[in-house]
Structure 1
Amino acid sequence: MDWPESTEPLIVAFPRGRERDGGAAAGATVVEKNPLRWTSRYGSLVTTVYGIGGIDGINERGLAVHGLYLQSTDLGPRDASKPGLHAGLWAQYLLDQAATVAEALNLMDDIQLVMISARGRDATIHLALEDATGDSAIIEFDHGRQVVHHGREYTLMTNDPAYSDQLKLLSQQDFSHPSRDMPLPGNVNARDRFQRAAYYLALLPELDNVRQAVAGVMAIMRNVSVPFGAPYGEFGIYNTEYRTVTDLTRRTYFFELTTSPNTIWIELDRLDLTEGADTLAIDPYDESLIGDVTSRFTPHRAGF
């Protein structure tokens, strides 16, 4: 998560059976006509943004969703014949209702995303999805048209430009056979970070050791993060606030705050996600958190 200020994240566990309104956020009405309403089928664990929705997380079936900024996002004009879902709840809706990437993509056919703003900035995002079978997809919007890249090969995403243009970067250099002599782009912009991530991902071996696998993925993200504290905002690039890694098989969620030396993790299966259970949360800015923090969750009243 790269952003010009803290997104005030909370890590929240939602039980099944929660009723949601895809047209309301933080006491305001975002979608006035025909808002999407649903009752969650699956429990989930998400990292929130400004208390208006989840931007990153996993559900109890092993589907994970991650939202990142994409300046070129264009949701198009509102078509009130379709139920409207504000963009701040996009990730949460898919986690609530889908068990796989394929199911999540099918859910998008009958709804329309509607833009929402927070702190003066539009939620121009795209989503990366993956599930426990290894399937994955990238979803973007271009002039109101949904653009989907669906397949196990789509394992990287940064920010701008659009994903089709990002993929062209991989055709310019063969990162599938990395070597110590291969030159790498080293800037902090999303293009360079995309290419560096492709290079280092190609170096990772197949592992059945969870600890080493998580360490490998986290090492790549640290390498392509924007160094904290540098004044990059003047050219539209922002400091990295936090990093997450998701173990889809064991439904474990790892979280690393940039300003903290502690990596924390949560085992989803140890949380009570049954219908009627409390919504639970922890504040990742709590400096006492370290390691397995599943038992540190406390009841929380979420506004969405």
Structure 2
Amino acid sequence: MFLPQPLQLVAALALFTFSSLPAFACSRLLWNGPDNQVIVGRTMDWAYPFEDNLYIMPRGDTVTGGTKTNPLSWTVKYGSVTSSFSGWLSKQGPFTIDDGAADGINEKGFAAHFLFLSGSQYEKRNPAKPAVSTLRWVRYLLDNFATVEEALAGMDQIQIVPSHIGSNPMDFHVAIEDKSGDSAIIEFVDGQRVIHHGRNFTVMTNDPPYDVQIQELKQYKPFGGQKGLPGNIGSNERFARLEYFSRYLPQTKDPEKAVAQVFSVMRTVASPVGAPYQDGATYPTWWFSISDLKNGVYYYDWVENSNTIKVNLNFIDFSEGSGIRWLNPRLPDISGLVNDHFKPITASAQ
């Protein structure tokens, strides 16, 4: 079950007022432009790099939800390209290549992204209901759904269960979009699933939950408050800048220009390597992704690689049996279209 957004505001304010700062300091922006352009940008910010790889996931593979009790099992319906830190996870515990997809787009023009939301409180576990772990949440969505509406209906049939690294829960909220421009943000607050659904839900960062973010946005001048537009890298500040700058993007029909413009807004919320966060630690932006949902192109920019790369899903063989393929996006000698640089998966690359 889920509760409508307004009923969650008071509880969310009380729950998250004193919560600690998140360690994932990521940001996401959806831009719906003319000529049915749908562009989504996100950053991945963390204290250290996860050495993420890009993966081509074909149709037909069998995947499970990765939970201890009653994990969901499914056969991949749609091929996808994902950014995943499964390799890093495999060194932390019993994780596999099915874990750790943080971002991606499938062949139907549907995209999903998880961002950290500390203090998430999930539904009480009903062991009779199939479950998916948070580290397989994005994978589940990309494998099974072509639209936001389909994904939300599918979520009604399962439960999301937090993954753990040691005793630390991997707490996330998820943003999804499709090529029609539809969007949804899914959070777990006070034991309830909270859904914000519609084309107007274009920005997501980290703490606090979305309802509280919208209330805090009102303190800034562009949104009716007294404070100037903030320049810090905290979650609220990044949320405000994305909301503000995205409103002024030129209405271009050129997909390359549209992608470049969304990149330009995402760079306003990037954290430089070495820059201190509010708690004194550093959470630099390690990579950007841009998903062009109309044209089926996935762009990727690694901070220590001066070359932006892109994957065109229209020219990928996603057929059953074609195999999982991978690419190291940190290689300094790759740029532009990199479809031909993907290699068959091996144990060392997982």
- Does the pair score TM above 0.5? yes
Alpha-carbon contact 2:112-2:142 (below 8 Å) kept? yes
Q: Counterpart of 1:252 in structure 2: which amino acid?
A: V
Pick from 137, 141, 148: which aligns with 1:94? 141
CA contact (8 A) 2:56 2:80 kept: yes
Look up the SS of the partner of 1:110 in the other structure: coil
What amino acid maps onto 2:74 in structure 1? W
Q: Tell me by how many angstroms 1:8 deviates.
A: 2.2
**CA 1:106–1:185: 2 relative to 1, 3 Å:** same
Mapping 1:287-298, distance limit 5 Å = 287-298=332-343
- Aligned AA for 1:215? A
Taking CA–CA contacts closer than 8 Å with sequence separation of 6 or more, which of the two structures ends up with the larger relative contact order?
2
C-alpha change, 1:131 and 1:218, in structure 2 (3 Å) is same
Match of 2:245 among 197, 200, 204: 200
Partner Cα distance (2:281, 2:242) in 1? 20
Compared CA separation, residues 233 and 167, structure 1 to 2 (3 A): closer
| Number of matched pairs | 293
Instruction: State whether structure 2 residue 279 is matched by structure 1 residue 242.
Output: no
Q: Secondary structure at the match of 1:241?
A: strand
CA RMSD of aligned residues (A): 2.1
Aligned match of 1:271 in 313, 316, 322?
316
Match of 1:18 among 61, 76, 88: 61
Matches within 5 A, 1:24-63: 31-51=67-87, 52-63=99-110
Contact in 1 for aligned 2:101/2:135 (Cα 8 Å): yes
Q: TM-score, normalised by structure 2?
A: 0.79
Structure 1 ranges of 4+ moved more than 6 A: none
What is the aligned partner in structure 2 of residue 213 from structure 1? Answer: 258
Structure 2 gaps, min length 5: 1-43, 88-98
> Could you list the runs of 5+ residues in structure 1 that have no partner in the other structure?
24-30
Q: 2:52 matched to 1:9?
A: yes
Provide the rounded CA distance (Å) in 2 between the counterparts of 1:108 and 1:144: 15
TM-superposed CA distance for 1:211, in Å, is 1.3
1:106/1:65 CA distance change after superposition, 3 Å: same
Aligned residue for 1:262, secondary structure, equals: coil
**Further displaced range: 44-53 or 164-173:** 164-173
Distance 2:266 2:182 in 1: 21
C-alpha contact 1:54 1:91 (8 A) present in aligned 2:
yes
- Following TM superposition, by how much is the alpha carbon of 1:174 offset from its aligned partner in structure 2, in angstroms? 6.7
Question: How far off its partner does 1:232 sit?
Answer: 2.8
Please state how far the C-alpha of 1:50 moved relative to its aligned partner: 3.2
Instruction: Verify the 8 A CA contact 1:176 1:202 in the aligned structure 2.
Output: no
Instruction: Indicate if the aligned counterparts of 2:327 and 2:341 stay in contact, CA closer than 8 A.
Output: yes
Within the alignment, does 1:253 sit opposite 2:310 as a pair? no
> Residue 138 of structure 1 aligns with which residue?
185
Shift in alpha-carbon separation, 1:36–1:286, aligned structure 2, 3 A: same
Shift of 1:143: 2.6
Distance 1:6 1:113, change over 3 A: same
Q: CA deviation at 1:15?
A: 0.7
TM-score by length of 1: 0.91
Structure 2 Cα separation of the partners of residues 232 and 176 of structure 1: 25
Q: Write the distance in 1 (CA, Å) between the matches of 2:321 and 2:165.
A: 30
Taking the aligned partners of 2:281 and 2:159, their CA distance within structure 1 comes to: 28
Question: C-alpha offsets along residues 71-130 of structure 1, whole Å, 9 cap, x if unaligned?
Answer: 131124422111121110001101111000010111111111111123764211111111
> Higher mean Cα deviation, 234-243 or 109-118?
234-243
